[in-house]
């Protein structure tokens, strides 16, 4: 089999809170948009000197355990959407922690049949460093709890999410409204019946509905193994 080189294009970092304590979720991960770099998980092991009097020219080393950094640093392009995503992550982590549930993180590489998973504690984001005439980047941190593992990719089966956009009353459908999924770049215009269908894998998403001259609306969408219908009403002012 040819060794086809992989690239970082399309790499995604997502998280999911356990539904059963101690069991890694295999679906329902929420993508953290805006990240641009991940830390190095491929740490060299510590070693011990096992040289004896019989060694006449070279020392003998024994491999010991690897040591992950105390905190894992990720870097992101700072913006309102990323700040909102990180704040949501902190809330979800806190809710899970209070119920004795871990938060798992997943790093997915397109074209590779496994993903990197680890349990971690996200740290509240502070004020990012800034320089004149530059894009603001934000370092964010996760404390690893246990070693990272390679495991089969998360379930990426997609399900139809049907948005129906109506105006002052539900019988007035709004065509040409733009429905976008924040952080993923997915968007679609509603048709003459006010309907837009976007296919999404399991997870929690934030949708934004916009049209010129109309105040934008936001909807949280939860996909969990089946098609979803989302009603957007009062979209007329």
Q: What is the residue extent of each domain of the chain? A: 12-41+67-152, 158-232
Q: Please state the pTM of the whole predicted model.
A: 0.76
Note the pLDDT tens digit of each residue in 131-155: 999 999 999 999 999 899 999 988 7
Note the pLDDT tens digit of each residue in 181-224: 887 778 999 999 999 999 998 888 889 999 999 999 999 998 88
Instruction: Measure the N-to-C terminal CA separation of the chain; round to a whole number of Å.
Output: 58
Which pLDDT score is estimated for 237? 66
Long-range CB contacts for residues 118-122, cutoff 8 Å, separation at least 24: 118/41, 118/144, 118/145, 118/146, 118/147, 118/148, 118/149, 119/144, 119/145, 119/146, 120/72, 120/144, 120/145, 121/93, 121/145, 122/15, 122/86, 122/89, 122/90, 122/93
Contact 17, 29 (CB under 8 A): no
User: How many angstroms separate the CA atoms of 37 and 40, rounded?
Assistant: 10
What is 158-232's CATH number, 1.10.150.120, 1.10.510.10, 2.60.40.10, 3.40.800.10? 2.60.40.10
Note the pLDDT tens digit of each residue in 67-90: 888 999 999 999 988 998 899 999
Q: What is the mean pLDDT of the chain?
A: 92
Query: Which residue reads 């998280």 in tokens?
Result: 15
User: How many angstroms separate the CA atoms of 151 and 111, rounded?
Assistant: 14
pLDDT band at residue 1 using 50, 70 and 90 as cut-offs: low
Note the pLDDT tens digit of each residue in 88-112: 999 999 999 999 999 999 999 988 9
């Amino acid at each position: 089999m040819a060794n086809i080189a992989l690239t970082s294009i399309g790499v995604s970092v997502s998280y999911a809170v356990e539904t059963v304590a101690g069991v890694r979720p295999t679906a329902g991960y929420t993508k953290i948009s805006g990240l641009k770099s991940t830390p190095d998980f491929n740490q060299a092991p510590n070693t011990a000197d096992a040289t004896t009097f019989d060694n006449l020219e070279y020392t003998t080393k024994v491999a010991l355990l690897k040591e992950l950094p105390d905190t894992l640093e990720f870097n992101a392009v700072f913006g309102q959407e990323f700040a909102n995503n990180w704040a949501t992550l902190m809330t979800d982590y806190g809710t899970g922690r209070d119920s004795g549930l871990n938060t798992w993180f997943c790093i997915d590489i397109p074209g590779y049949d496994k993903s990197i998973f680890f349990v971690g504690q996200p740290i509240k984001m502070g004020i990012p460093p800034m320089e004149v005439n530059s894009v603001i980047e934000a370092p964010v941190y996760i404390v690893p709890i246990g070693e990272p593992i390679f495991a089969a990719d998360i379930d990426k089966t997609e399900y139809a999410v049907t948005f129906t956009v109506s105006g002052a009353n539900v019988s007035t459908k709004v065509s040409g409204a733009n429905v976008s999924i924040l952080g993923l770049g997915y968007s679609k215009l509603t048709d003459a019946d006010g309907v837009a269908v976007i296919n999404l894998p399991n997870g929690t998403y934030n949708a934004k509905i916009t049209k010129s001259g109309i105040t934008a609306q936001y909807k949280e969408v939860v996909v969990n193994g089946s098609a979803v219908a989302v009603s957007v009403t009062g979209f007329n002012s």
